Chain A
Amino acid sequence: MKFLPLIWSGIWRKPGRTVLIFLQVCVAFALFGVLQGLKTGVEHLISEARADVLIVHGSLSLIDPLPLSLLERIKSVPGVKVVIPVELFGAIYQNPSQKLGLVAISPDEGWLSAFTFSIAPEYVAALRRIRTGTIIKEGLAKKYGWKVGDRIPLKSTVVQVDGSTDWAFDVVGTYTDADLGGANDTILINYSYFDEARVSGKGTVKHFNVAASDPKLAVTVADAIDRRFANSSSETRTESLRELAQSQLQSIGDLNFLIRAIVSAVLVALLFATATMTMQSIRERTPELAVLKTLGFTDGSVFVFVLAEAMVIFIAAGACGLASALLVFPFASRFVPGLSMPAVVVGVGLVCAALVALISAAVPALVAARLKIATALAVR
């Protein structure tokens, strides 16, 4: 510990050079942090997706409607806790740029376990009571200033029985969605009301949401449901939310390759730059190092000093770079939601920084350690 001031003064011998190296390392690890953050963001999305919520949709295509009559038969599959019909359609509020997604569901007993939403019990009760009720996503309440009791007029391409395309719903509450990939501008409405009001497509759903009674059995349940409808006119395909997230983000393989390639290019450039800089600095400090040795410092301690200087700069700059990557996250979350930097990434980043420091300073440190006092002092 008593040698810390010595290392410190070594670092600040040429402030300009140190600051530049610091910035360079900082920039490199900021990039490292952002790229790794992207990767973990995507992986996080997949692992957070619920495995016990199953989506039953038409096989081979996502657009076939399924008949509502499948509901009872799905419910009778062993291991199925709740089955909720889901119909999706779009509407606009006031002008075409304000689009809304409408999710029609049946708020039956235990329905929330088949979704990623969290809703206060009194709102659910109100939705059950008021047929034209709607529960809006929290962000929408702020965006359009809607509050409980408001009646919101919407225009849709779905035609009502009376020929009108105007729909109106009464706000009865708000909800939040734990699914990071979930759309923001969505509202929940009653399926029974919607199905009665529309003129075509009655008695069909886009998909069923199923909650399995035991998450571990979800895969078996999914297979059992699909088997039940195999070779029927409405074949199904059942997937958990996690599987869906996985197939949506299947490009992750290429993303990993890309990130690895970029990070290695950055580290190679960094390694070379810092190695030459440290070498240069050792060359300039030859007389000083010789004086140190004259005072009785061993070759080994000189070796350690040089390494320690590099380590201090790199780890500090690496930490600084990773921290500044956090600043970019809100901006990059436009493309991938849920960017994060778990401790592992910070750890790997700092270990990388230390390794680059060790490798780039090893040769200069060796040169410094091998200096002969007489020749070193003779340079002057």
Chain B
Amino acid sequence: MSVARQSLAMLLVNLSGVRERMASVLTIIIGVTCAVGVLVSMLAMGTGARRQEMGNVRADRVVLITSGARVWQSDISREEAAAVLELPGILKGSGGEPIVVPETEVPVEGRRRVLGNRIFFPLIGTTPTVTQYRPEMRFTGGRMFQTGLHELIAGNSCARQFTGFDIGDRRPIHGTDWTVVGHFDLGQDQQCFVFADVDSIMSTFSRNTYSSVSVRLQSPSDFDAFRDAVKGNPALHLEAKREREIMEDGFKELNAILNFVSYFVGTIMAIGATLGAVNSLYAIVDSRRRELATLRAIGFGPGPIVVSVLAESVLWALPGALLGCALSWALFNGLSASPFGYSFQLAVTPSLAVLGILWALGMGLLGGLLPALRAARVPVTTALRAI
């Protein structure tokens, strides 16, 4: 009899006794369910955050910032911003003007509708061209702000979360009243954004430099030529980065924390579940000593016994993994969370489910190893003598 056939036969024998050992089997399944469920749910925060950050990213968008600086340290003079208009490869808007959006950002305070607590969010100074730079931007009410006036337009998520963002509301910012004139949606992004005219903001906050200049290219393949043109222009101390790079930079830190916490908690829970599985499998093997000895006596080798116990362990871990993923999907997918003061929707994706299943396979294999070896070492004579 080949090893494979012996193993299969052994596995079937193992499984035939499942009803008497239901409690032990359930222990393995529940342990794995909890471990996988928690790991997948926590990783879903990271995936959700990334999906939100990256959801709107387009390959034809480029952001210019001061060379070597991070976004918030960048200073771009008006002369430099004007010189950007002359660069090659920039998409022309409906009016024939190049789609170049100089922006600046100031933190302003909002008050949450629900709890009334304060939070700072970015007020972004931009130009009306932003609708062509961000084609995903869609007005749901009101109109665009007018240049030179103290007018604001607010993302719908802001209007929902904070007080004072209804159309017609006046908000005092830095000594002047700003009127809310429009509401918009920004693709998948759930973050709070408020836009106003960049020059009004700069004069209000007595600034004379932009923090970034965003450009839409004719096609993504123009990026290299555009970057070289920026580098080659002695008047520009800027570097061009794809929108994706800029987003990744800003996201790195949060991602590191989320991943650390998820894998830390996930690993500890996996260790617990594995210990539980080891104990249950030992109990199963112990209760079958006579049976195993009999099988050895009629010619089953130790190899197939090891394989069959390992296979059994993995087989019980798998439903746990599926159940864990399903629970995490049912309970948390699409739920909003803001564990670190930054809100996003949790996303349980197929790749996370695959990760959870692999994690469970690991638990099953590790947990099954020692019991499998003990099962293979059952001494035939002593075990049979016990009858």
Binding site for B on A (CB under 8 A): 16-17, 20-21, 23-24, 27-28, 30-31, 35, 58-64, 233-235, 237, 247-248, 250-251, 254-255, 258, 261-262, 265-266, 268-270, 272-273, 276-277, 279-280, 335
Cβ-closest 10 pairs across A and B: A273-B276, A269-B34, A276-B23, A24-B275, A20-B279, A265-B34, A251-B341, A27-B272, A276-B27, A31-B268
Residues of B within 8 A of A235 (CB): 172, 175
Is the Cβ of B109 less than 8 Å from the Cβ of A61? yes
- 1/0 contact string of B120-131 vs chain A (CB within 8 Å): 100000000000
Of the 9-residue stretches B227-235, B311-319, B332-340, which lies at the interface with chain A? Answer: B332-340
Given contacts A24-B276, A27-B275, contact A269 B31 (CB under 8 A): yes
In the complex, 23 of the A-B residue pairs with CB atoms within 8 angstroms, ordered by the A residue number, are A17-B283, A31-B265, A31-B268, A31-B269, A59-B109, A63-B107, A64-B205, A233-B175, A247-B117, A247-B118, A248-B341, A250-B117, A254-B337, A258-B42, A261-B41, A266-B272, A269-B35, A272-B30, A273-B31, A273-B276, A276-B24, A280-B24, A335-B261
Q: Measured between C-beta atoms, what is the minimum distance from B134 to chain A in Å? A: 25
Is the Cβ of B268 less than 8 Å from the Cβ of A27? yes
Given contacts A20-B278, A251-B340, contact A266 B34 (CB under 8 A): yes
Q: Measured between C-beta atoms, what is the minimum distance from B75 to chain A in Å? A: 9
Given contacts A60-B174, A61-B174, A62-B120, contact A273 B23 (CB under 8 A): no
- Which of A60, A234, A265 lies in contact with B173, CB distance below 8 A? A60
Is the Cβ of B272 less than 8 Å from the Cβ of A28? yes
- B348 interfacial contact with A, CB 8 Å: no
Q: Interface residue tally of chain B, by bracket?
A: 35 or more
Q: What 13 additional pairs, Cβ within 8 angstroms, besides A61-B109, A269-B269, A269-B273?
A: A31-B269, A31-B272, A60-B172, A60-B173, A61-B107, A61-B174, A64-B174, A247-B117, A250-B341, A251-B341, A266-B34, A269-B30, A277-B280
Is the Cβ of A254 less than 8 Å from the Cβ of B339? yes
CA distance A269 to B320 in the complex (A): 11
CA distance A63 to B204 in the complex (A): 12
Q: Measured between C-beta atoms, what is the minimum distance from A305 to chain B in Å? A: 21
Is the Cβ of B275 less than 8 Å from the Cβ of A23? yes
Residues of A within 8 A of B279 (CB): 17, 20-21, 24, 273, 277
- What's the dominant secondary structure at chain B's contact region? helix
Most chain B CB within a 10 A radius of its CB, from A255, A262, A268: A262
Given contacts A60-B172, A276-B24, contact A17 B282 (CB under 8 A): yes
Binding site for A on B (CB under 8 A): 23-24, 26-27, 30-31, 33-35, 37-38, 41-42, 106-109, 117-120, 172-175, 205, 257, 260-261, 265, 268-269, 271-273, 275-276, 278-280, 282-283, 287, 337-341
Q: Measured between C-beta atoms, what is the minimum distance from A64 to chain B in Å? A: 6
Is the Cβ of A16 less than 8 Å from the Cβ of B108? no
Is the Cβ of A251 less than 8 Å from the Cβ of B338? yes
Residues of A within 8 A of B41 (CB): 261
Q: Measured between C-beta atoms, what is the minimum distance from A191 to chain B in Å? A: 21
CA distance A31 to B205 in the complex (A): 48
Q: Measured between C-beta atoms, what is the minimum distance from A267 to chain B in Å? A: 9
- Which of B23, B37, B106, B283 lies in contact with A265, CB distance below 8 A? B37
Residues of B within 8 A of A23 (CB): 275
Q: Measured between C-beta atoms, what is the minimum distance from B340 to chain A in Å? A: 6
CA distance A265 to B35 in the complex (A): 8
The residue on A at minimum CB distance from B276 is A273
Q: Measured between C-beta atoms, what is the minimum distance from B331 to chain A in Å? A: 9
- Which of B107, B108, B280 lies in contact with A276, CB distance below 8 A? B280
CA distance A237 to B109 in the complex (A): 11
The residue on B at minimum CB distance from A250 is B117
Most chain B CB within a 10 A radius of its CB, from A21, A35, A247: A247
CA distance A161 to B98 in the complex (A): 41
Most chain A CB within a 10 A radius of its CB, from B26, B35, B276: B276
